[in-house]
Amino acid sequence: MKSLKGIGLLIISNILIYLTLSITVRVLVNMVLPAFGIDVRGAFSQELLVWSLVIGFGGAFISLLFSKQMARAMLDCTQITQPRTHAEQVIYGSVQEIAERLQITMPEVWVYDSPDPNAFATGPTKNSAMVAVSTGLLANLREDEVKAVLAHEMGHVFNGDMFSTTVLAGLMNTFVHYISNFVYQMVAQPQGDREEGQSGSPILGFVVYIFLQVVLSVLAMLVISWHSRRREYAADAFSAKVYGKESMIKALQAIDRWVNRAQFEYTTQDALATMKISGNTSGFLHLLATHPPIEERVAALERL
């Protein structure tokens, strides 16, 4: 019943997004642009909009549907089905306890080999998810801190963050594909040239197309990264409700100590991994960070 409800919400959301895009583009083409002396009404393509939606949302949702399989394929990981050690019992038992409390299907529980203290959750729905923790997390955090991190990941699962991020990514992909192809068609063969039987500038159109793909993709990443940072705060708050904010604060501080030590010991080695965990970036890179800085997350927890 819950899966059917999820499918229904997916269909409704896609219909609403399609209608919103259709109305927005039509208002822009038929009213806004002509008011500024720009007439592209003959160039508007409903077929291009539909195709952009298929490309944009199709790729995003295919990635979501196979997210668990792709995660397992990319990592050296082992599934825990029957805990054999105390550490495995802590991981499995915590996920099981939270799942029962939330009345959702028990996610798959995995441990993957990696020195950085990290964890993630993925899966198409909250009732078909997986939670994975790194060996580095188990080695560097205490038991209560590991449980807090697991509660954080379960917060992502329960809040439906994977689904909402996929919808946002699909929407951004649609805009990138539609705008870049729309401009390409305008430059490669403008409406006037088509009516007079003349050719446009395909080479220039291709250059503009590539330029727009890059620029619009970066702008789309800004929106997606902003959403990702917001959901991290929500998952932290969820963990605080489950095990108390002090445990999550201590977990974040332990991760921060590892990041600082790793950066000191290895200088630039694996700098991307430490940046991803800590969110400690500056300037423009801060806008592309998927996680807020740890000190900001700690401050947000202390305000709860």
pLDDT means per 10 residues, the chain with 304 residues, are 51 62 67 73 66 81 88 90 92 95 94 92 93 94 95 94 90 89 78 54 84 92 92 95 94 91 57 47 74 93 92
The pTM of the full predicted model, rounded to 2 decimals, is 0.77
Residue 267, pLDDT score: 46
Is 47 among the catalytic positions? no
Contact 131, 75 (CB under 8 A): no
Task: Work out whether strand 128-134 and strand 108-112 pair parallel, antiparallel, or are unpaired.
Answer: parallel
Residue 84: burial class (beta carbons within 10 Å; 0-12, 13-18, 19+): exposed
How far is the C-alpha of 263 from the C-alpha of 283, rounded, in Å?
19
Nearest in space to 19 (alpha carbons), one of 171, 124, 162? 171
How far is the C-alpha of 151 from the C-alpha of 251, rounded, in Å?
11
Residue 206, pLDDT score: 85
Please identify which of the residues 88, 153, 195, 296 carries the catalytic annotation.
153
What CA dihedral angle connects 23, 26, 31 and 37, to 10 degrees? 150
Q: Report helix, strand or coil for 147.
A: helix
The residue type of 272 is: L
Residue 198, pLDDT score: 53
How far is the C-alpha of 73 from the C-alpha of 235, rounded, in Å?
26
Q: Report helix, strand or coil for 122.
A: strand
Query: What residue ranges do the domains of the chain occupy?
Result: 64-304
Tokens encoding 87:
């550490």
Residue 242, pLDDT score: 94
